Homo-oligomer: A and B are copies of this chain.
Amino acid sequence: MSRGFLLVLSGPSGAGKGTVSKELIQRNEDIVFSISATTRDKRPGEQDGVNYYFMDEETFDAKANAGEFLEYAHVHNDKYATPKEFVMNKVAEGEIVLLEIDVQGALQIKKNYKNAVFMFLLPPSMTELKRRIEGRQTETEEEIELRYSNAFKELDFVNEYDYFVVNDTVEQAVLDMEAIIRAEKHRVKRFKYIKERVIGEKNV
């Protein structure tokens, strides 16, 4: 008996969400990335339903109004959202749906969807975070400063999450996340018929 759930992962820029997520998905067959909806143009090589669900603004807004998104956001001229249906279907199949998202999006999801698990990835220290942001060498001094001060603010939201994981090394962070996922699969609150299953009345 195992149940799927939505796993929300946030954390400041430079904490390493992308790296640990990829590693986590590579190692675990029952974890999949959430596929977002977006109004932005499809880029060469991108596939609808694989990279994103691409849609025009009218469709997007209609879905938003119909409550079909767990959260949505306006970024520059484009809109992004987490479609409820994809998450629900995968969860019903027993999968863990991993969603990397900022704290504002996570708070929207927390309001709309009680069964999600909220995980916050932390850098081991701010010095190390700065080193990682600078290490990318793709950003200007100002962009680096902005990311750093945003990271500082985002840390205020850690108390809204269920778990924190410190990304000291990727290996240890992924092991921590795997333990959290294994634990969450054993949460009594996710199962209605534990006794019935043990006594053989239900195959759940």
Residue of B nearest to A178 (CB): B179
Instruction: Report the bound CA distance from A139 to B50 in whole Å.
Output: 61
Question: Chain B interface: which of A77-85, A99-107, A194-202?
Answer: A194-202
Contact A186 B165, beta carbon cutoff 8 Å: yes
Residue of B nearest to A194 (CB): B158
Residue of B nearest to A159 (CB): B188
Residue of B nearest to A128 (CB): B198
Residue of B nearest to A186 (CB): B163
Nearest Cβ on chain B to A87's Cβ, whole angstroms? 22
Contact B156 A195, beta carbon cutoff 8 Å: yes
Chain A, residues 85-129, CB within 8 Å of chain B (1/0): the string is 000000000000000000000000000000000001011111100
Asked if A136 is at the interface of the complex by the 8 Å CB criterion, the answer is no
List the B side residues contacting A199 at CB < 8 Å.
125-126, 152, 155
Contact of A176 among B155, B186, B188 (CB under 8 A): B186
Instruction: Report the bound CA distance from A187 to B179 in whole Å.
Output: 12
Asked if A162 is at the interface of the complex by the 8 Å CB criterion, the answer is yes
Residue of B nearest to A199 (CB): B126
Chain A, residues 161-204, CB within 8 Å of chain B (1/0): the string is 11111100000000110111011101110010011001110000
Instruction: Report the bound CA distance from A182 to B178 in whole Å.
Output: 10
List the B side residues contacting A120 at CB < 8 Å.
188
Contact B200 A188, beta carbon cutoff 8 Å: no
